[in-house]
A and B are shown apart, each in its own frame.
Chain A
Amino acid sequence: MSIIIAILVIGFIALLFGALLGYASVRFKVEGDPLAEQIDDLLPQTQCGQCGYPGCKPYAKAVAEGEAINKCAPGGEETIKKIAELLGVEVQPLDENHISDNTPKVAFIIEEDCIGCTKCIQACPVDAIIGTTKQMHTIIVDECTGCDLCVAPCPVDCIEMRPIETTKQSWQWDLNSIPVTQVD
């Protein structure tokens, strides 16, 4: 008899917890992959596709599923370090196939050469190019991520990548320019 009671009680408790867990899984369901989101936040969001994925988010998803962490060229060592920290894996050097010049650049359209083919507009991942068919195109500098994707489709090679100019705000102190001032 006591065995039956025990079985019933345990069974009841099991059902209760099952119901609780079932409810919680519905109530507190997490949309999307939280790990991929976290990785995505670490990526530089240039959407350049140099990693072989069409944008930062797809790469983040792939990394979350086990892809190598060293394929983000614009992010460089910094990003690899951060991702390694997040995932608790070894820091790897940047993939040799993906090493590129990391200086920040923006695309520039040589406007007199532009034939208005709209190919670059279709390539731009962040809609930073304006223009229309047979009209000159131009780049919205503030929105350009410097991803390079518009350069290849241009049939007349009128897009070039130009380094961003230093301003007073973006200027970095150079240790050697100002000596320590010691007053005796």
Chain B
Amino acid sequence: MNSIINRIDKNQFWKFHGGIHPPEQKFITDNKPIRTLALPKELIIPLQQHIGQAAELIVSVGDNVLKGQALTASNHPMAVPVHAPTSGTVTSIRNSTIAHPSALQELCLFLTPDGNDTWQQRNICTDYSQLSHQTILEKIANAGIAGMGGAGFPTHIKANSSVNNSAINSAKIEFLIINAAECEPYITADDLLIKEHSPTIVDGINILYELIKPEHILIGIEENKPEAIKTLQNATKDIAHIKICVIPTVYPSGGEKQLIQILTGKEIPSGFLPNSQGIIMQNVATCYAIADAVINDAPLIKRVTTVTGLGLNKPQNVWALLGTPVSFLLEQCEYQPQSNKQRIIMGGPMMGFALSTGNVPVVKITNCILAPSEKEIASENTEVECIRCGQCADVCPAQLLPQELQWSAKAKDHEQLEVLNLFDCIECGACAYVCPSYIPLVHYYRIGKAEIREQKQLEIKAEKAKIRFEARKLRLERDKKAREEKQRQAAQARKAKMNSGTPQANTEMSAVAAALARVKAKKAQSMSTGASMVQKPSSGSSAKPKNPQVAAAIARAKAKKLANQNKDIGDNNDANETITEPQTQINTQTNTQTNTQANTQANTQANTQETIPTEAKTNNPKAGISAEDKKSKVALAIAKAKAKKLAKDKLLEASSIEKSSVEEKPTKVSSVKQSYAEDPAEDLAEKDLANNLSKSTVKTDKTLLESINKDPMSKETISKKDSVSEHGNINNIHSKKLASNANLTEDEVRKAKIAQVIAKAKAKRDISDHNEDDLVAIEKKKRIAEAVAKAKAKKQQRSELT
């Protein structure tokens, strides 16, 4: 420890491995004072400007905010707030391109300055030694200070770790190192800040001294800043524990681990933070911000940014409000674009990234905006093969093996990358700088790092999925067992009760016996009826009027058939009569088979509205296009609608029974449905109509099913019906062809359209006729019907595929 101080006193420092000497290019800006800029028209404030978590918004669009007012707040320790850099109005909060190499969009707050620059209420504290540590830390945290050297680590955590966590790290903080090295070419922001504001910086250092109580404070500064060194020496000459360490200029001496090695000779082990070795490092700009926050109660709302490069007429350091668009800075420094190929780089030339748009804002870590001329930064050199010269390994400050890393990164050998300690790479770019083959080594490492990180994320996710999968399996098994157990117990309980011999049990038993007997009797009866029906089909019709659903369905079918037959006569009354007196119609019916046929035909007509006119046409091709025919068609439609309504009313009444019946016979529905589904698919292109159709189809199907179910002859009927419906379809197609052959297409189409419109209107009116409850029910049914139709289609498709 003493030897370290002795060496420092003698100006003898350690060396870190490697390092390069790129052209410094600091002369462009280091002799010009920091300029304060006019307010930009709009400020773009990203909600997250540091490592860690974004805080939550506490303002909304349209709010007027004062300068220094917090815009976000959070209780999360890794979240620091952002503040309004000037007074103005929040104009919008939306996603915008952020200062990140990915040029992704993140949530940003857009502030339009009002030009008054009104500060919020501030409590200026002249004597910070009166404040408790906790108060100071809170002030630092509330000021939103995050490491301004480039990483953006929340400062209050670093400053706090020394106080509370020293027990955990079991290392007393020996050294507080203030990083003023600023080793990257072009950048002079810290240099200028020291020159102009060294008293404030020293205040900040003193505050940190109070908080951390280190044994020594070392300020590391490269020897290429003589003026700044002098200023600092003057400002600190009365403070014994602060030592100014003037170190040789070599890139990247400003890296945290590198500077620690230069000043103390200690190497921070891989994967450890410097405070584990009793060292804490802060940037000079952070010290300035701390002093400003604690003494002047001014949150971090502006920073010194070097706007440099030969592409500018007036390169200089500026006080940039956080959120100032880069384009505004360039404009202020008179950017002269020479060609389209020119890039704007945020950060230094070694570690920065090219911006995709000028609309990116300055954030807490933006120390430099570089607008180089084409001469300064050579346009892309094509990468050639590695020649194994080993220069990269010579210059690597982290003592890695860049060329091996590069091979492994290209081969995506993640294990090998980790063996080679990829994560110790500080991405300084020294290796890429010296590479004679122009291999962009750092980019390969960045890709490799991102891939490994993603891989780890995936592994975590996979582990989670595995646990959840296993938990689910367990749960399912448990549920199954529990269910079986329950059933078993219930069965046992029932048995026990039955056999218990109590009068209640006896009555129950007798009730069951009675029910069984009833069922048996019924079965026998129905069998005998069925047999009699086969022998005497006409008796079936006499049984029918008992069943309203069946009656309705048959009536409807009759109506249709009659209407068809009477079409050429065009007798409206006849058709109407058919509907109004379905019972008589039924009685006149003699053959159940004709009945079924009629049924099917009726269904086909009711469901495939479009086919009606076609069929009508084929039924009486001679009738032509007469007015009478039209009339008859209207009559038919009316008749149909009435029949439908009748059926529907009954249907609604018995909807619950219906449902169960539908569930009982899903296969039948499907077979019926399929035949219909095929039909409209051919006949109709319009989708909504198809929907309409499928809806009505299901309904009529239900009626049909109902009738079938209640019909003693159900089985026979179904089989017949299926075949008949198929037959009917073929007939339809056939008749259609006939019609087109007869050159009636034009009128046909017209009529079909009219019929369609009428049918649609009817359907609509039908719906509106019902009260709201019914509407909801219909809606629901429709949805279910649609779902069923979809499912069917899918199934069919799948089966076709296989």
Q: What residues make up the interface of A, taking CB atoms closer than 8 Å to B?
A: 40, 43-47, 55-57, 115, 117, 125-128, 143, 145, 155-157, 166-173, 175, 177-184
A-B pair count, CB < 8 Å, reads 120
Could you write out 6 A-B pairs with CB less than 8 Å apart?
A: A40-B466, A57-B470, A145-B461, A172-B454, A183-B23, A183-B350
Determine the distance from Cα of A175 to Cα of B448 in the docked complex, in whole angstroms.
11
User: Whole-angstrom distance from the CB of B53 to the nearest CB of chain A?
Assistant: 11
Are A171 and B472 interface neighbours, CB within 8 A?
no
Knowing A155-B791, A177-B101, A180-B380 are in contact, say whether A168-B451 is a contact too (CB < 8 A).
no
Determine the distance from Cα of A177 to Cα of B345 in the docked complex, in whole angstroms.
12
Are A126 and B465 interface neighbours, CB within 8 A?
yes
Contact of B354 among A166, A169, A179 (CB under 8 A): A179
**B440: CB under 8 A from chain A?**
yes
Contact of B377 among A157, A167, A181 (CB under 8 A): A181
Are A183 and B22 interface neighbours, CB within 8 A?
yes
Are B381 and A47 interface neighbours, CB within 8 A?
no
Are B104 and A126 interface neighbours, CB within 8 A?
no
What is the interface size of chain B, counting residues whose CB is below 8 A from a CB of the partner? 59
Are B790 and A173 interface neighbours, CB within 8 A?
no
Are A183 and B465 interface neighbours, CB within 8 A?
no
Knowing A171-B104, A172-B450, A182-B433 are in contact, say whether A56-B381 is a contact too (CB < 8 A).
no
Q: What residues make up the interface of B, taking CB atoms closer than 8 Å to A?
A: 22-23, 25, 98, 100-104, 106, 185, 343, 345, 349-350, 352-354, 376-381, 429, 432-433, 438, 440, 443-444, 446-447, 450-451, 453-454, 457-458, 461-466, 468-473, 783-784, 786-788, 790-791, 794
Are B464 and A143 interface neighbours, CB within 8 A?
yes
Are B343 and A173 interface neighbours, CB within 8 A?
no
Knowing A175-B440, A181-B349, A183-B376 are in contact, say whether A44-B790 is a contact too (CB < 8 A).
no
Determine the distance from Cα of A128 to Cα of B467 in the docked complex, in whole angstroms.
12
Determine the distance from Cα of A44 to Cα of B788 in the docked complex, in whole angstroms.
35
User: Whole-angstrom distance from the CB of B727 to the nearest CB of chain A?
Assistant: 31
Chain A residues whose C-beta falls within 8 Å of the C-beta of B786 in the assembled complex: 156
Chain A residues whose C-beta falls within 8 Å of the C-beta of B465 in the assembled complex: 45-47, 126, 143, 145
Determine the distance from Cα of A45 to Cα of B473 in the docked complex, in whole angstroms.
14
Determine the distance from Cα of A4 to Cα of B104 in the docked complex, in whole angstroms.
87
Determine the distance from Cα of A51 to Cα of B468 in the docked complex, in whole angstroms.
19
Are A155 and B788 interface neighbours, CB within 8 A?
yes
User: Whole-angstrom distance from the CB of B778 to the nearest CB of chain A?
Assistant: 15
Are A184 and B446 interface neighbours, CB within 8 A?
no
Given contacts A45-B469, A155-B787, A178-B101, 14 further A-B contacts (CB under 8 A): A45-B461, A126-B472, A156-B787, A168-B104, A171-B102, A171-B104, A175-B443, A175-B447, A177-B354, A180-B438, A181-B349, A183-B23, A183-B376, A184-B376
Q: Which residue of A lies closest to B463 (CB)?
A: A45
Knowing A155-B790, A156-B786, A173-B446 are in contact, say whether A179-B468 is a contact too (CB < 8 A).
no
Q: Which residue of B lies closest to A125 (CB)?
A: B469
Are A115 and B469 interface neighbours, CB within 8 A?
no
A117, A128, A183: residue with the most chain B Cβ atoms closer than 10 Å: A183
Determine the distance from Cα of A63 to Cα of B787 in the docked complex, in whole angstroms.
39
Are B468 and A184 interface neighbours, CB within 8 A?
no
Determine the distance from Cα of A156 to Cα of B106 in the docked complex, in whole angstroms.
34
Are B104 and A115 interface neighbours, CB within 8 A?
no
Are B101 and A182 interface neighbours, CB within 8 A?
no
Knowing A155-B790, A166-B104 are in contact, say whether A171-B450 is a contact too (CB < 8 A).
yes
Q: Which residue of A lies closest to B375 (CB)?
A: A184
Are A181 and B352 interface neighbours, CB within 8 A?
yes
B22, B102, B343, B378: residue with the most chain A Cβ atoms closer than 10 Å: B102
Contact of A181 among B345, B461, B788 (CB under 8 A): B345
User: Whole-angstrom distance from the CB of B88 to the nearest CB of chain A?
Assistant: 27
Chain B residues whose C-beta falls within 8 Å of the C-beta of A127 in the assembled complex: 468, 471-472
Contact of B185 among A44, A125, A167, A183 (CB under 8 A): A183
User: Whole-angstrom distance from the CB of B432 to the nearest CB of chain A?
Assistant: 5
Chain B residues whose C-beta falls within 8 Å of the C-beta of A182 in the assembled complex: 377-378, 381, 433, 438
Determine the distance from Cα of A167 to Cα of B100 in the docked complex, in whole angstroms.
11
Determine the distance from Cα of A40 to Cα of B345 in the docked complex, in whole angstroms.
46
Determine the distance from Cα of A179 to Cα of B342 in the docked complex, in whole angstroms.
12
Chain B residues whose C-beta falls within 8 Å of the C-beta of A166 in the assembled complex: 102, 104
Q: Which residue of A lies closest to B345 (CB)?
A: A181
User: Whole-angstrom distance from the CB of A86 to the nearest CB of chain B?
Assistant: 13
Determine the distance from Cα of A145 to Cα of B468 in the docked complex, in whole angstroms.
11
Determine the distance from Cα of A148 to Cα of B446 in the docked complex, in whole angstroms.
32
Are B466 and A168 interface neighbours, CB within 8 A?
no
Are B469 and A173 interface neighbours, CB within 8 A?
no
Determine the distance from Cα of A184 to Cα of B22 in the docked complex, in whole angstroms.
7
User: Whole-angstrom distance from the CB of B378 to the nearest CB of chain A?
Assistant: 5
Knowing A115-B787, A180-B438 are in contact, say whether A47-B23 is a contact too (CB < 8 A).
no
Are B352 and A179 interface neighbours, CB within 8 A?
no
Are B469 and A56 interface neighbours, CB within 8 A?
yes
Chain A residues whose C-beta falls within 8 Å of the C-beta of B788 in the assembled complex: 155
Q: Which residue of A lies closest to B348 (CB)?
A: A181
Contact of B429 among A43, A115, A181 (CB under 8 A): A181
Are A115 and B443 interface neighbours, CB within 8 A?
no
Determine the distance from Cα of A173 to Cα of B98 in the docked complex, in whole angstroms.
15
Q: Which residue of B lies closest to A156 (CB)?
A: B787
Determine the distance from Cα of A167 to Cα of B458 in the docked complex, in whole angstroms.
15
Determine the distance from Cα of A13 to Cα of B622 in the docked complex, in whole angstroms.
112
Determine the distance from Cα of A45 to Cα of B102 in the docked complex, in whole angstroms.
30
